[in-house]
Each structure stands twice: as structure tokens, then as C-alpha cells.
Structure 1
Amino acid sequence: MGIKSFQGARRQQQSTTENVAFKVSDFMSRDLITFKPEQTVESVIQTLIKNKISGGPVVNESNELVGVISEGDCLKQISESRYYNMPMEQHTVENRMIKNVETIDGNMNVFDAANRFLESKIRRFPIVQDGKLVGQISQKDILKAAIELKGQNWK
């Protein structure tokens, strides 16, 4: 009688050259809450609170990225409105958003993206393809990718 092995069949490991490139587009969020330039800052604040988010991309009617608005931008508006005793209702996203927006290429490796986050101190990067907003990658998405990829070769 031969010796029986209780070890199951082993999965063949891929070589690192065959591994998936761990692209940003594999981990980015595609279902985004976006804002319009003509929206009021007050409506943005309500959306941020309701959805427990800290900001989001601003797009025009053609879904082209025109800016980003964050909690900080809204706080500045509240502070100035209070200081100058001006009603907030008349202030739009276009007046408060950051227009010069840094983006990330969807084909970038998630580990290179992690370095971009560390260098820039930005919390989220929009991903634009053919002039249109297609997604967004956040620091949290990179952390999720790291956990998901744990145990694989990180090269």
C-alpha cells in the first residue's frame, strides 16, 4: 500500500510577468456623486452630509471634468458668508470649486498612485478618459487594493 497524501492539488502560481498590472482602473469608483457648476454651495453641503463624503468632481452637461469641490471649499464659503453677513444661497459651486484639478491615468499602477497621494496630500484623484470623467480613485480605494492584493507579489 502506498503513502497517501492529504494535501490537495496545488494551484499553479503565475510568474510575476503574467500578473495583472494592478491598474487604478481596476480599483477606482465608477458610480460617482458629481456636482454641477451652477449648483449652490448649500446643496453641495447637504449632499456631502447625506452621503458621508468629503467632496467630489464637478462636471458640465457633457460629463467633462471642470473642477472639484470639497468640505474645505464649503467651509470657506460658510466662514466668509458669516464674516461678511452675506446669504449663502446665492453662491454657486463654480465660485468655490478648485478649477486646476490633478487627475490620474486609469492605466497607472496602484502603487505608483499611492506615491502620488503621498506626494500631493490630495484625498482623491479623478480619472478622465477621452475628455470625460470615468471614475475616481481615493486613498481608501488604494488601501482596499493593498488588502485585496496581499499575498501576491508586489512588483
Structure 2
Amino acid sequence: MGIKSFQGARKEQNQELEQDLFKVSDFMTKDLITFKANQTVEEVINTLIKHKISGGPVVNDKNELIGIISEGDCIKQISESRYHNMPVSDDSIERYMAKDIETIDGNLNVLDAAKQFLDSKRRRFPIVEDGKLIGQISQKDILKAALKLKGQNWK
């Protein structure tokens, strides 16, 4: 009959604490600025500047995630306009938004999410539940979670 050491049981308890208390859903932003595919690049640029954000999710009328638009996507449109020697057009963002979207599970532990950020080199991940956009987690949100984790578990 095996005997668990006190340290072993304590370590397991800490792992459970991490997984229960420090989920992506606990640190995600729920009040999101979203965009529609038919909005113009100029509208998006104005919103990004006004709200001091670097991008955001694009949703349809059912709040289903269909893309992500970023500063870089808008810059691409500006660059193309210059190449064709035309002013920034009234093109919709649908042409420029990223459609190959990686999402993250809201139940994922924030430490595992940090690894996913490192592996993907993304700045933000949308969280989708039952096909609907429910939030977004950014690298900054992970840093905030890390500070709370440090106070509880790191030595």
C-alpha cells in the first residue's frame, strides 16, 4: 500500500487551484468592440484610433465570429491604394480581414494560454461558445493573470 507524501498531495492541490481559479474566461474581456464585414476600412481605422486598440473581431448579425481585423490589415489597404495611386477607397473590410481565425477555449488554464500565445505569435484570441463570440483574451490579460498567480503560487 503506497503512502502519498505531504508534498505530493499539496502539489496536486496547487495544480487544482490553478486550473479552477485561473481560467481564460476569468480574465477575458467580455465588453468587446466588434466590427461588421461591410464596414469600410476608414470606419475601422477611426474606431481603432478612438478606442486605442490594435484590432478586433468581425461578427455577423448573429454575433458569430467571421474574421479579425487589425491595424496591419488596414495598413495593407492603405498600401494598395498608394500602389494604384488612388485615395483610400470605401472598400469593406471583408476583403482585408483575416478569415483563418484561431480561437481559444475559455476553460483553458491561463498558463497553457500563455504557451499558446508564444507558439502562435498572436496578440489576441477570441473565445467562442456555442458558435457565438463571448469574449477575447489578449497578451496583456495573460500578464494581469500572471501577477495574480504570482501572489498565490509563485515563490
Q: Report if aligned partners of 2:123, 2:138 keep a CA contact under 8 Å in 1.
A: yes
Which is higher, the Rg of structure 1 or of structure 2? 1
Matches within 5 A, 1:118-129: 118-129=118-129
1:89 offset after TM fit, Å?
Answer: 3.4
C-alpha RMSD of matched pairs (Å): 1.3
> Is 1:32 matched up with 2:39?
no
Q: Report if aligned partners of 2:63, 2:132 keep a CA contact under 8 Å in 1.
A: yes
- In 1, the alpha carbon distance for the partners of 2:105 and 2:130 equals 11
The letter of the residue matching 1:143 is: L
Number of the residue aligned with 2:8: none
Number of the residue aligned with 2:95: 95
Of residues 96-105 and 144-153 in structure 1, the stretch that sits farther from structure 2 once superposed is 144-153
Number of residue equivalences: 140
- In 1, the alpha carbon distance for the partners of 2:75 and 2:135 equals 25
1:150 offset after TM fit, Å?
Answer: 1.6
- In 1, the alpha carbon distance for the partners of 2:67 and 2:152 equals 36
Q: Report if aligned partners of 2:34, 2:58 keep a CA contact under 8 Å in 1.
A: yes
Q: Note the alpha carbon deviations across 1:90-144, whole angstroms, 9 max, x for none.
A: 2111011000100000000000000000011100000000000000000000000
Q: Report if aligned partners of 2:42, 2:90 keep a CA contact under 8 Å in 1.
A: no
Structure with a larger share of its residues in helix:
2
Q: Secondary structure at the match of 2:30?
A: coil
- In 1, the alpha carbon distance for the partners of 2:89 and 2:135 equals 29
Q: Name stretches of at least 5 consecutive residues in structure 2 with no aligned partner.
A: 1-12
Of residues 77-86 and 61-70 in structure 1, the stretch that sits farther from structure 2 once superposed is 77-86
The letter of the residue matching 1:151 is: G
Residues 149 and 96 (structure 1), Cα distance of their counterparts in 2 relative to 1, 3 Å cut: same
Hey, which bits of structure 1, 4+ residues long, moved more than 6 A?
none
Q: Secondary structure at the match of 2:91?
A: coil
Number of the residue aligned with 1:140: 140
Number of the residue aligned with 1:11: none
Calculate the TM-score normalised by the size of structure 1: 0.86
Number of the residue aligned with 1:16: 14
The letter of the residue matching 1:48 is: L
> Is 1:86 matched up with 2:86?
yes
Q: Secondary structure at the match of 2:56?
A: strand
Matched-pair identity in %: 71
- In 1, the alpha carbon distance for the partners of 2:143 and 2:23 equals 14
Matches within 5 A, 1:59-74: 59-74=59-74
